[in-house]
Amino acid sequence: MFIDEAQVTLKAGDGGNGSSSFRREKFIPKGGPDGGDGGDGGSVYALCDDNITDLEQYKYTPNLKAGDGGNGAGRLKKGENGRNLFLKVPPGTIFINSFTGLQSAEVLKKGEKVLLLKGGKGGLGNVHFKSSVNRAPRQFTYGSEGESGDFKLVLKTIADAGFVGFPNAGKSSLMGILTMARPKVAAYPFTTLHANVGMIDYPDIYDRLFVADIPGLIKGASQNKGLGHRFLRHIERCKVLVFVIDMAATDGRNPENDYEDLLSELELYNAALLEKPRIIAANKMDEPAAAGNLKKFKKKYPKLDIIEISCLSEEGIPALKDEIHKAVKLANNNAFAVADKPFFEE
């Protein structure tokens, strides 16, 4: 099961207590204080790991704690620091503070590390309280308590391109042809219940892209109906959107209405999604009704660049594969162009 949400309770380690101790050695009378400090408690970090694909481990182990610091001891021995806790999560994971509802952290790149909760400070040993008027202090301090909190983990899939379309449009079949992923395929709605991520390999140019098969939309998804927001949030990070349209209208649908409804749901959820580059994949062109429907579709949307494909015969698949690569690379170049602009332009 693909888990893209989890609730966790986290606790940083407590600091160890300082020690109240005095030297007790032969031939050294009144050796003086030698109590060591307590060790610091371990902190809690979010760590991005691209070898992890979902949040399953946190669904079943929701209570996690970093190590406590050790207590100080005589002979100025400092307590051992507590072990840090690293929550390894996939790229695109957001940590939301359950108490405030605000985003606490977000990790996007492999190896990125963000502090969530700071461990407690170790206490001071009695050696720190020695003075000219207090030669034998017995004072020491206790270690401070580590921070704690409840967090909601939300995964937003990171992929170069995302396949969007209504149920049974052929997204999963297309995913299986283009990549090594093997999503479940069947002739009923909501075969896909979570985002599948696969890789398109371009051996001739030594390149590869990641694509996501997003669960099928229904009308009202922007109001959280059906799979709702659990679907829509997965396309927010995609650089290019591939609209897979069933041109054969095998379920009695209208391809023109499908495209309009898809655009409407995206806009209602987040209007910025409509600014992403789009590719229209006219699927099921092997069906008799597809040619006529495509003619009507082109008449209504004459400016759209449409790639005709068939997942059954694999017609047009190479052309679509090349178009996805071209669109993603163009999107990357545009992103770099924006990033390279100076902060202050004259």
Q: Which pLDDT belongs to residue 13?
A: 97
What is the domain extent for residue 280? 161-339
8 Å CB contact between 18 and 74: no
pTM: predicted TM-score of the whole model, two decimal places: 0.73
pLDDT tens for the chain, 346 residues long, are 568 889 999 999 999 999 999 988 777 777 789 999 999 999 999 999 988 888 989 989 999 999 999 999 999 999 999 999 999 999 989 999 999 999 999 999 999 999 999 999 999 999 999 998 998 899 999 999 999 999 999 988 778 999 988 888 888 889 889 986 554 544 444 444 566 778 899 988 888 898 888 765 655 544 444 444 556 777 888 899 999 999 999 878 899 999 998 998 888 888 899 999 999 999 999 999 999 999 999 999 998 989 999 999 999 999 999 999 999 999 888 764 544 444 444 3
The owner of tokens 């495209």 is 259
**134 and 167 share a domain?**
no
Domain boundary among 108, 138, 155: 155
Contacts of 72 (CB under 8 A, 6+ apart): 16, 17, 18, 19, 35, 36, 37, 38, 39, 78, 79, 122, 123, 125, 140
Q: Which of 32, 38, 33, 34 is nearest to 18 (CA)?
A: 38
| Cβ neighbour number for residue 232 with a 10 Å cutoff | 23
- C-alpha 145/C-alpha 16 separation (Å) is 9
Q: What are phi and psi of 195, to 5 degrees?
A: -75, 125
Which CATH number characterizes residue 48's domain?
A: 2.70.210.12
Q: Which pLDDT belongs to residue 29?
A: 73
Q: Which pLDDT belongs to residue 344?
A: 43
DSSP tag of 84: P
- C-alpha 211/C-alpha 164 separation (Å) is 11
Say whether 55 sits in a helix, a strand or coil: coil
- C-alpha 39/C-alpha 72 separation (Å) is 7
Domain boundary among 124, 155, 186: 155
**139 and 209 share a domain?**
no
Q: Which of 135, 128, 149 is nearest to 38 (CA)?
A: 128
Report how far Cα 253 is from the mean position of its chain's Cα atoms. 34
**192 and 210 share a domain?**
yes
Reading the block at residue 20, the tokens are: 């109240």
- C-alpha 228/C-alpha 93 separation (Å) is 19
Would 283 be classed as within a structural domain?
yes
**165 and 289 share a domain?**
yes
Q: Which pLDDT belongs to residue 283?
A: 96
Would 218 be classed as within a structural domain?
yes
Which CATH number characterizes residue 311's domain?
A: 3.40.50.300
**3 and 114 share a domain?**
yes
* Beta strand ranges found along the chain (DSSP E): 5-11, 44-48, 63-65, 85-89, 93-97, 103-107, 113-117, 148-155, 161-164, 196-202, 207-213, 240-246, 278-283, 306-308
DSSP tag of 235: G
**8 and 131 share a domain?**
yes
**136 and 235 share a domain?**
no
Would 28 be classed as within a structural domain?
yes
**131 and 190 share a domain?**
no
